[in-house]
Structure 1
Amino acid sequence: MVVRLAERDISTGSNELYVPLPCAGSTPAWGGAGTCSLAITIDLVSDWGLVLDQPHSPVVDLVGRCDEAGIDAMLDLAMIVNAGAFGNVFRQP
């Protein structure tokens, strides 16, 4: 996953549990103050997830394979969500 992120010019840190995605012009205002970044995470128990770059973030669970094709598909989906294609996916109905 680190290699695939680097290919998309997204850097990772060794102490992070999630990777914040860079904001695009159409990125929704994430979080209560609208200043958070969308981040992607992998949990060994619950699979992929989208979270906010803040403590105690809600999680949007994603189900996908953890091979190269699955990593690419999950990163593509995360980038589409980050670009605002689905609005604010954390907004409660």
Structure 2
Amino acid sequence: MAHPQQTNQQVVSVHKHNDIPMSLSVPDFEQGGRRGLHPLPWMTDITLGESHWAYIEAETYKVPSLVIRNMIDVWSKNGTVLLNLNPR
């Protein structure tokens, strides 16, 4: 994996419960988001599983249209998505 400086990218820290100062991190809304456009970056976590974050035998998964709609909603409000793929 290339170092962030080699790809001209910045590194960012995220926080969920104000455990890192806002000036040093981006808020993370797990399985949530914001109601409207926000001037500062933020992040949300979306899992493909209907009810679990880890691999579960016979897990049901969200339909692609819902996942895509959720991702577009987040991106349109200046957010980014961490997509969980329910690894085995």
Give the TM-score normalised by the residue count of structure 2.
Answer: 0.25
Q: Which has the larger radius of gyration?
A: 2
Q: TM-score, normalised by structure 1?
A: 0.24
